[in-house]
């Protein structure tokens, strides 16, 4: 009997330790993912023809470092439009840098907007030890909005365009800052728990219990937040600005229905564009003319 008890205890400890190791590893995939360097993102965009080097380098960007309320600097590029009193802020996608937002610039430059692109925490040339999917990034965006308004002389119009994680950050920011005139959310998830449980199933064929919950616990220890605290769809309850929801019709990374549910949930002024055939963060490249047309139509209704 004693021997059986010892074996049972050993087996239990082995299971607990294995689960702890797996939870630590999975939490690391979430909060400390592999991030492409600023230089690598530049090479990627050049190779795909999404940045024309001669044109990009000829633009008179002002390099800016904005202080985050969480103790690090946010790297940004600012491009002024002559005497403009309106600025668009771009929040880029997961594991990339602000250079992923360059493709959207011309739409807004033609409409007379100043351009402000910035690297999220733990991305590009910005500081920050980890990725928190909006928990701290929403405060960072608030600091960027403050910088943009100050640049406009204290008054003017500021809008936000977010892609993927940038869209999720934008929606969470909308709940804590009423100074933004409009948001464009391209490819946001509904909540981090829903996304991670979906990815566990699709990527690893694993059920949420118990790994998801152990990883969430380690995320709190390591980065300061539980997974359930990240919920763009809940943030919409406190948002008031007009929001244009965009999502790829063939998005399987962040399923299309998440974008539709975000739109359905929001009770404020809103519009939606589901781009047929577009994969994640590919709506612009799938149909550039329609993408620009829809944005122009949305802005006409809110400005």
On whether both 3 and 83 belong to a single domain, the answer is no
- Per-residue pLDDT in tens (0 to 9) along the chain, 303 residues: 655 655 555 554 555 677 799 999 999 999 999 999 999 999 999 999 999 999 999 999 999 999 999 999 999 999 999 899 999 999 999 999 999 999 999 999 999 999 999 999 999 999 999 999 999 999 999 999 999 999 999 889 999 999 999 999 999 999 999 999 999 999 999 999 999 999 999 999 999 999 999 999 999 999 999 999 999 999 999 999 999 999 999 999 999 999 999 999 999 999 999 999 999 999 999 999 999 999 999 999 998
On whether both 147 and 177 belong to a single domain, the answer is yes
Is the Cα torsion angle 21, 27, 31, 33 positive or negative in sign?
positive
- The DSSP line for 245-263 is EEEETT-TTTTHHHHHHHH
**What residues pair up with 73 in beta bridges, in sequence order?**
67
Residue 32: both structure tokens together: 């400390």
Cα–Cα distance between 274 and 164 in angstroms, integer?
A: 14
On whether both 56 and 166 belong to a single domain, the answer is yes
The predicted pLDDT at position 12 comes to: 44
- Tokens 């633009």, residue located: 59
Cα–Cα distance between 199 and 201 in angstroms, integer?
A: 5
On whether both 263 and 161 belong to a single domain, the answer is yes
The answer to whether the CB of 184 falls within 8 A of the CB of 291 is no
Instruction: Count the neighbouring beta carbons within 10 Å of the beta carbon of residue 271.
Output: 17
Name the domain boundary from 209, 228, 247: 228
Of 38, 260, 251, 241, the residue nearest 141 (C-alpha): 241
On whether both 135 and 283 belong to a single domain, the answer is yes
Name the domain boundary from 177, 206, 228: 228
On whether both 14 and 107 belong to a single domain, the answer is no
- The DSSP line for 64-77 is EEEEPTTSSEEEEE
Q: How many helices (H) and strands (E) does the chain have?
A: 12, 8
On whether both 72 and 205 belong to a single domain, the answer is no
Q: How far is CA 80 from CA 47, 52, 303, in A?
A: 27, 19, 19
Domain of residue 216 covers: 1-31+195-228
On whether both 145 and 44 belong to a single domain, the answer is yes
On whether both 123 and 220 belong to a single domain, the answer is no
The answer to whether the CB of 19 falls within 8 A of the CB of 210 is yes
The predicted pLDDT at position 7 comes to: 57
Residue 55: both structure tokens together: 């044109």
The predicted pLDDT at position 250 comes to: 98
Say if residue 295 is exposed, middle or buried (CB neighbours under 10 Å; 0-12, 13-18, 19+): buried
On whether both 132 and 206 belong to a single domain, the answer is no
Of 72, 38, 26, the residue nearest 216 (C-alpha): 26
On whether both 25 and 128 belong to a single domain, the answer is no
Tally the domains of the chain.
2
Cα–Cα distance between 109 and 212 in angstroms, integer?
A: 43
Cα–Cα distance between 212 and 236 in angstroms, integer?
A: 25
Cα–Cα distance between 226 and 68 in angstroms, integer?
A: 21
Cα–Cα distance between 18 and 23 in angstroms, integer?
A: 8
On whether both 63 and 149 belong to a single domain, the answer is yes
CATH for 291: 3.40.50.1820
Name the domain boundary from 204, 228, 252: 228
């Amino acid at each position: 009997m004693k021997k059986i008890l010892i074996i049972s205890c050993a087996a239990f400890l082995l299971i607990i330790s294995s689960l702890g190791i797996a939870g630590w590893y999975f939490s690391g995939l979430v909060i400390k993912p592999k991030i492409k360097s600023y230089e690598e993102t530049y090479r990627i965009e050049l190779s795909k023809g999404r940045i024309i080097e001669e044109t990009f380098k000829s633009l008179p960007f002002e390099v800016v470092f904005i202080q985050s309320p969480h103790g690090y600097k946010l790297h940004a590029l600012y491009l002024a439009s002559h005497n403009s009193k309106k600025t668009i802020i771009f929040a880029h996608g997961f594991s990339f840098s602000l250079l992923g937002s360059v493709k959207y610039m011309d739409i807004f430059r033609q409409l007379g907007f100043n351009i402000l692109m910035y690297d999220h925490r733990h991305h590009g040339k910005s500081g920050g030890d980890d990725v928190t999917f909006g928990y701290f990034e929403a405060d960072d965006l608030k600091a960027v909005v403050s910088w943009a308004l100050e640049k406009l002389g204290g008054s003017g119009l500021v809008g936000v365009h977010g892609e993927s994680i940038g869209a999720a950050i934008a929606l969470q920011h909308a709940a804590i800052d009423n100074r933004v005139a409009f948001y464009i959310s391209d490819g946001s998830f509904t909540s981090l728990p829903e996304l991670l449980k979906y990815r566990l199933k699709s990527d690893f064929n694993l059920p949420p219990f118990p790994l998801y919950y152990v990883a969430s616990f380690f995320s709190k220890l390591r980065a300061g937040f539980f997974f359930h605290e990240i919920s763009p769809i809940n943030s919409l309850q406190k948002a008031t600005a007009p929001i244009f929801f965009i999502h790829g019709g063939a998005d399987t990374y962040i399923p299309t229905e998440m974008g539709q549910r975000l739109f359905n949930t929001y009770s404020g002024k809103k519009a939606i564009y589901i781009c047929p055939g577009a994969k994640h963060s590919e709506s612009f490249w799938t149909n550039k003319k329609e993408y620009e047309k829809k944005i122009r139509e949305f802005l006409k209704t809110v400005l």
